[in-house]
Amino acid sequence: MSLKISVKHHTTENLGSACLIVGIYEKSKLSDAAQLVDGICEGLIKKVIKKGDMDGKAGSTLMLHSPAGVSFDRILLVGCGKNKKLTTKDFRSVISSAITAVKGSGAKDAICFLNDITVDDQDTIWTARQTAVLAHHAMYQFDQTKSSKNNTSSFKKLVLNIANKKDLRKAQVAVKIGNAIASGMNLARDLGNLPGNICTPTYLASTATKNGRAATNMSVKILNQKEMEKLGMGSLLSVAKGSRQPPKFIIMNHRGGKKTDKPIVLIGKGITFDSGGISIKPSAAMDEMKFDMCGAASVIGTMKTVSELQLPLNVIGIVPSCENLPDGQANKPGDIVTSMSGQTIEVLNTDAEGRLILCDALTYSERFKPKAVIDVATLTGACVVALGKHAAGLLGNDDGLIDKINQAGIQADDRAWPLPLWDEYQEQLKSNFADIANIGGPGAGTITAACFLSRFTEKLKWAHLDIAGVAWETGTSKGATGRPVALLTQFLLGETRGKIGV
């Protein structure tokens, strides 16, 4: 990552030439830091505010250049809203707009004095970590597939000022965690943004292998089609059949815990392009189905974060990966396939392919006798209808696990929200010809998709994250978000029982 972030307890004598980032509240109220800087700059900030150029609205910015009589070159005023108490939503916009403003200036380094703003019920340690995550997010640029890469910013170094010296050590750990989360998110975003003709199952496999080689305590194994056949993954392979790209089954194993510690398994849907297959999708926005491997990307990204932090846990990342295309060999509606579990599946809609590859991955995960399994998938359009783009759908067969994941999402500001998985919904999956149908009719699409997966998790403590709404943004800011790497990391940090974290 190009931006280096560190923490310091700064004295105002030691500011160098950096850009100072200070907060202004609504009603022309200066933050403590702004007050201080105003003092050494002969009242410059107060003058500017009086003239009406900065009203303190959360997320507004104003760059002041060449303040007289001081060493630093710039002061960035950042609106921090009302009452010193921001919502997490406003806080995101404050940090993002501040970093975007510095990124677009000529500044090489900046010192951020926004750490003392109070965000909902969070402390300054939380703020430090989130600032790191949001800053890296704002600096992210995807230009791998552009011919010219002229968008490089000169902004390379960000120092977070920690007002209270006694918080410094904790803030250091927080920023380290934030940096690691961002590095996993950036990898997830890169993989998501790459097009289907580049980011194939083979590409995902080699990325995972490369990361595994670079990491400590991680091994990566890739199963090819033959090996999957031997294991009886008939459901996964039925989806792969319609494509000329060979399917890959990726297993990443981070051994950070004791040998006897049961692993936590993360499974990510890795459909590198979803055309729908024979039940083909409408052509509008079909390009966005290159993002159908964002579950896989988030698992590969989280494994990177886990490894960078050397979490004292055993974590296994599994990615079943293939394309879903129409072809003479492809699944046809009505086809019946046999899953690795032995259950037969009637493929009533070839576009419900995610569950067909995930079910075999879930069965495969049984061999690890996991403590918990979490699958992450862009599984249903219905989830976007239900929750929009703000929260992932959260379902599973263990209330304790669901609760932990829900809390982790809130804490990491990468939210998921529970939906019910009641037995009543299971009836929608009845098939006249096989053990189970792969679709459940028009109602409750996200729930019936999870019901399908639940048939393969009877031996597991399992939760499912439907990230169809949160994995990428559409419109002018089209691109992968890197979610839910932060949620997954937060959950895993919780599993370390305070050994890592603040």
Beta-bridge mates of residue 193: none
Cα(first)–Cα(last) distance of the chain, in Å? 23
Could you confirm whether 415 is annotated as catalytic?
A: no
Number of residue whose CB is nearest Mn ion: 351
Q: How many chain residues interact with ligand BES (CB under 6 A)?
A: 16
Out of ligand BES, Mn ion, Zn ion, none, what residue 380 binds, judged by CB under 5 to 8 A for its kind, is ligand BES
Out of Zn ion, Mn ion, ligand BES, none, what residue 38 binds, judged by CB under 5 to 8 A for its kind, is none
d(CA 151, CA 154): 10
Q: Is 292 in the site for ligand BES (CB under 6 A)?
A: yes
Q: What is the dihedral of CA 394, 310, 190, 410, to 10 degrees?
A: 30
Residues numbered 411-440 forming contacts with ligand BES, rule: CB under 6 A: 439
Q: Which is nearer to Zn ion, 102 or 199 (CB)?
A: 199
Residues numbered 253-272 forming contacts with Zn ion, rule: CB under 5 A: 271
Indicate which single residue of 292, 360, 375, 466 sits in contact with Zn ion (rule: CB under 5 A): 292
Number of residue whose CB is nearest ligand BES: 381
d(CA 163, CA 218): 38
Q: Where are the alpha helices (DSSP H) in 283-417?
A: 294-308, 354-365, 381-387, 399-411
Candidates 327-335, 362-370, 376-384, 477-485: pick the segment binding ligand BES (CB under 6 A): 376-384
Smallest distance from ligand BES to CB 94, Å:
30
d(CA 11, CA 13): 5
- Considering only CA atoms, which of 380, 211, 237 is closest in space to residue 295? 380
Smallest distance from ligand BES to CB 191, Å:
16
Distances (CA, A) of 17 to 63, 65, 132, 274, 313: 15, 11, 21, 50, 43
Q: Is 354 in the site for Zn ion (CB under 5 A)?
A: yes
473's CB contacts (< 8 A; 6+ apart) are 389, 479, 481
Q: Is 492 in the site for ligand BES (CB under 6 A)?
A: no
d(CA 367, CA 365): 5
Smallest distance from ligand BES to CB 388, Å:
12
Q: Is 67 in the site for Zn ion (CB under 5 A)?
A: no
Candidates 66-74, 92-100, 240-248, 273-281: pick the segment binding Mn ion (CB under 5 A): 273-281
Smallest distance from Zn ion to CB 135, Å:
32
Q: What is the dihedral of CA 182, 184, 186, 189, to 10 degrees?
A: -130
Q: Which is nearer to ligand BES, 93 or 245 (CB)?
A: 245
Out of ligand BES, Mn ion, Zn ion, none, what residue 381 binds, judged by CB under 5 to 8 A for its kind, is ligand BES
Smallest distance from Mn ion to CB 272, Å:
12
122's CB contacts (< 8 A; 6+ apart) are 88, 130
Smallest distance from Mn ion to CB 111, Å:
48
Q: Annotated catalytic sites, by residue?
A: 281, 355
Binding site for ligand BES (CB under 6 A): 274, 292, 349, 351-354, 378-382, 384, 439, 445, 468
